[in-house]
Structure 1
Amino acid sequence: MATQGILRSRRSAAQLHALVGVEREIRSYDHAGGRKYLRDFRDAYRSYEETLTPDQVRDEIVSSDIVLVADYHALPSSQRYLASLIRDPEVYRRPVVLGVETIFSRDQHILDEWRRGEIEEGELRQRIRFDFDWGYDWTPFYELLSAARDHAVGLYGLDCMPREDLRKIGARDRHAAGKLSEIRERHPDALILVLFGESHLAPRHLPAQVRERLPEEHMLTALQNVDALYWRAAGEQADHVEAVRVADDVVCVFNATPLEKYENYRLYLNRWGRDETGAVDLGPTVYNLIDGLVRFLGINLYSNHNTTQPRLLVDLMPEVYSRNSDALLRRLLSRKGFSASQRRMMLQRVHERGSAYLAPLNTFYIRQFHMMSAAEDAARFLHHACRGLPDRVNGKIPEPRTPHDAFFAATIEHALACFGSRILYPARPAFRDADLLARYELTREDLEEQTSLPYAEAIEILDFLNWHRASTRKPRERAAASDWSTVLAFTGRKREYLTQQLGYLVGNDLYDSYIEGRVGPAVLRRLFLTHLEEPNAAREAYASLNSRLR
């Protein structure tokens, strides 16, 4: 069994490579990182006592009087985590009050008007000057406000001016603590949930001010995604640690990775620096994810030969379309000769996942940025680029593949995409044989919704996958053989779903083997470089990979 240090290194390697460029760009925009107030937060939370489950964290929260929840403003999951707590029946069995840093206490009357239904969302956003005075994503914050309107007995703004002057930040902590004291007088029996910027939650900052004013209160600090704690937890045996106990009165939950956190912040800094409120440029984000994988695999971007390295990978970088319309994507695909059914399938992929790498165009099309999907697409691109972009449409007609070659090439692509996603985004949930078997427990409606297939076809695919996986694990004890000719004749969504699910299973096997030390970067690099477009290459590569992973 690998030691904590080895596990931490293996799980973190690709993400740390990708973080280098992000942090460099953030430092070029944001020069406040070295201020003592911010250092106090980083220095306070470096280790933890034990891992926790989400239910244990919820129990800690429910048993508290005041919970200070850390907010990383640029990360939507920070606000959505608290919204999910407020919606949890176990939490709102007692009266709940929400206080937020985002809204000045001077604007409480505006918030009250919205809660009473006197004004609409748009007017609320405008009158509290959300875009001018805050500037982060409105949608997750409004989801939080809506959850509080539905389930809380009180909703309060806690902040005051000036926000931009770190020399006065202590005054803001004292002001917020005073407002919480007033809220306790109004709601003596309520659980008070507070969302405030993470740097305010260093022990000597807002928590100390609240304790001074409300010494009898049982207060809990709930951190989110603290870097030092995340990297330390990466050494645990579990696939993904969801929470830890830092101290008796401090917990930390993990709902995002450091790379995801800082990429979101970098996007805001980039937008603010260009004084734009429209679509952001996601090109640097995509290129950074690719670079993280390239460095992890030991690939030379500038190699001029194509043997153990891809030839001049730097010249094959994809075009990136950020948050453009469906009409633009349709035009792009139409100009390249894609059929109506192919266009519909690609549009569906973008809608389902937020983004897609379109190999025939060597293009990323990003409608909505999700780290897991973007990381998967980065791995797809690298797999194609390492082979010289064989599927790119450049006025040439690709050589037709046999059904076997097409099936196994698609499966391996999904496997490498899944593996790359887990390397860059370790929070991606694992997908193993037990998860496949759990699909049989879904209702007919849920299975059809999850697979986008008729029930009978979904069951047919599950049956084949379970047979195939069992036969590769115990080849001498094969069950009755499935009809490969039928499987290879699958088309459209049915074929895509089968190769995707099989690929994800193999990709998770590959990731597990890497974490266990049975597969290293050199072997992985050769997989990315394998020319699957050659006759029988995909089938042989799949058989070899399965043999290695068994």
Structure 2
Amino acid sequence: HILDEWWRREISEVELRKRIRFDFDWGYDWAPFYELLVTAREHAEAIYGLDCMPREDLRKIGVRDRHAVHKIGEIRQAHPNAAILVFFGESHLAPGHLPRVLDEQMPGERTVTVLQNVDALYWQAAGEKSDHVEAVRVADGVVCAFNSTPLEKYENYRLHLSRWRRGDEGGADVAPTIYNLIDSLIRFLDINRYSSRNGTQPKFLVDLMPEVYSGEPDSTLRRMLLSSGLTEQGMNSAFLGVDERGCSYFPQINSFYVRNFQMAYAAEEATRFLHHACRGLPELEAAKKSSELFYVRTVEHALAYFGSRVLYPSREAVYAEGPIEEFEAGAELAGQMLGTRLYDEYLAGRKSRSELRNLFLTRLDESGQAKEVYRQLARKIPAVRKARAAIAD
């Protein structure tokens, strides 16, 4: 969606560069990259982000190949007559990776693979009679273009390494920590982030990873929340979490805001994101029925609190009863008690990871589902039933 906002000219070049974490996660020259994007915006039907974050390491390269081909298939359906130009990392362009998966999944497509500055091919081409070879044909449908020598390429890389070693003058980047918390819970629940089907797994969870803001003024997030349709009252309520806990996940814009990192609360908000993502980010769609909102919020608080105990076991359990004076406080307190009970049941072996994963996947926006999940969780906790009665009656 960040690229879509830039495509529609809703955000500037500076904001695009910052929000896609170009300098943190890539760090090479921005100018040629941005020139490519501008050229595409001026001449293409659309631009899509094909790869996903965080990339981890080469052990996931085959999974990412299949994910990319699935996305290319969706692009082809949206643009049946267009020539599709795909820019991807060199490792993916090896014959046994993206080209092979493309041939298997989209056999009717004619593809041409263009490699760039492959050292071994450069030195082979250097033996040709021509003074300067600009490109060579490697195989049917595969060519390699040369626009720099190996010496130029590695000297440029050395300069980048030198610049990276000098460090960044900004504050600490908390985004990797947030992503690590999310990834730890994903592994705990045995979730496949690259699954292409709904059911026992969320669909392409890897494409739903949130943006993480830290060190930003509140006004940046407030502007984004306003554009999402959130009211001023709703926004003030949302920022209470930041004021009280130092961070908050905003499902309306699928974004984290970290003002003051505290592990227990960050773990809770990371779990809150994962619960929303497993349900397909329902906050980005229609609002829930007010009659079921208490149940939805209570279950969301319960799973968020449960996840925080998994990621940060020393967090205090919540068993005590207390006065229930308003809706959201009642939902949060009831949820914390449910989350504590759920964690205790997991430790006692009465809840399996597959059962827990199914709780995260349950579509609470479907009529009656939130109430049913709430009743199942609250069955053995009288204090929680009293909390609900105080709100409803």
AA of the residue aligned to 2:251: A
Name which structure has the greater RCO, CA cutoff 8 Å, separation 6+.
1
Q: Does 1:303 align with 2:195?
A: yes
Distance 1:407 1:377 in 2: 19
AA of the residue aligned to 2:361: L
Q: Note closer, same or farther for the CA distance 1:495–1:375 as it changes in structure 2 (3 Å cut).
A: same
Unmatched tracts of structure 1, length 5 or more:
1-23, 26-271, 438-458, 462-493
Q: Note closer, same or farther for the CA distance 1:548–1:498 as it changes in structure 2 (3 Å cut).
A: closer
Which one is further off, 522-531 or 329-338?
A: 329-338
Distance 1:273 1:425 in 2: 33
Trace 1:384-403 onto structure 2 (pairs within 5 A).
384-392=276-284, 398-403=286-291
**TM-score normalised by the chain length of structure 1:** 0.39
Distance 1:274 1:330 in 2: 34
Trace 1:28-427 onto structure 2 (pairs within 5 A).
275-392=167-284, 398-403=286-291, 405-427=292-314
SS state at 1:356 partner = strand
Deviation string 1:467-493 (CA, Å, 9 cap, x unpaired) is xxxxxxxxxxxxxxxxxxxxxxxxxxx
Superposed displacement of residue 460, structure 1 = 4.6
1:538 to 345, 370, 390: 370
AA of the residue aligned to 1:429: E
Q: Note closer, same or farther for the CA distance 1:321–1:460 as it changes in structure 2 (3 Å cut).
A: closer
AA of the residue aligned to 2:189: L
2:342 to 490, 507, 510: 510
AA of the residue aligned to 2:239: L
Q: What residue is the counterpart of 1:453 in the other structure? A: none
Q: What residue is the counterpart of 1:489 in the other structure? A: none
Distance 2:308 2:166 in 1: 30
Q: What residue is the counterpart of 1:520 in the other structure? A: 352
Q: 1:510·1:549 contact (CA, 8 Å) conserved in 2?
A: no
SS state at 2:257 partner = strand
Deviation string 1:98-135 (CA, Å, 9 cap, x unpaired) is xxxxxxxxxxxxxxxxxxxxxxxxxxxxxxxxxxxxxx
Deviation string 1:286-335 (CA, Å, 9 cap, x unpaired) is 11111100000000001110000000100111111112111212212122
Q: Note closer, same or farther for the CA distance 1:278–1:399 as it changes in structure 2 (3 Å cut).
A: closer
**TM-score normalised by the chain length of structure 2:** 0.53
Distance 1:273 1:305 in 2: 42
Distance 1:280 1:519 in 2: 38
AA of the residue aligned to 1:401: K
Superposed displacement of residue 402, structure 1 = 3.8
Superposed displacement of residue 274, structure 1 = 6.1
Corresponding pairs, count: 221
Q: 2:324·2:330 contact (CA, 8 Å) conserved in 1?
A: no
AA of the residue aligned to 2:354: A
Distance 2:234 2:324 in 1: 24
Q: Note closer, same or farther for the CA distance 1:402–1:339 as it changes in structure 2 (3 Å cut).
A: closer
Distance 2:381 2:340 in 1: 10
Distance 2:190 2:233 in 1: 39
1:501 to 318, 326, 333: 333
Q: 1:297·1:522 contact (CA, 8 Å) conserved in 2?
A: yes
Superposed displacement of residue 427, structure 1 = 1.2
Distance 1:339 1:506 in 2: 30
SS state at 1:519 partner = coil
Q: Note closer, same or farther for the CA distance 1:311–1:548 as it changes in structure 2 (3 Å cut).
A: farther
AA of the residue aligned to 1:424: L
Deviation string 1:364-407 (CA, Å, 9 cap, x unpaired) is 11111111111001110110111111112xxx5x144142x111
Distance 1:288 1:349 in 2: 21
Superposed displacement of residue 516, structure 1 = 0.9
Superposed displacement of residue 547, structure 1 = 3.1
Distance 2:377 2:241 in 1: 27
Q: Note closer, same or farther for the CA distance 1:381–1:273 as it changes in structure 2 (3 Å cut).
A: farther
Q: Percent same amino acid among aligned pairs?
A: 46
Distance 2:198 2:319 in 1: 34
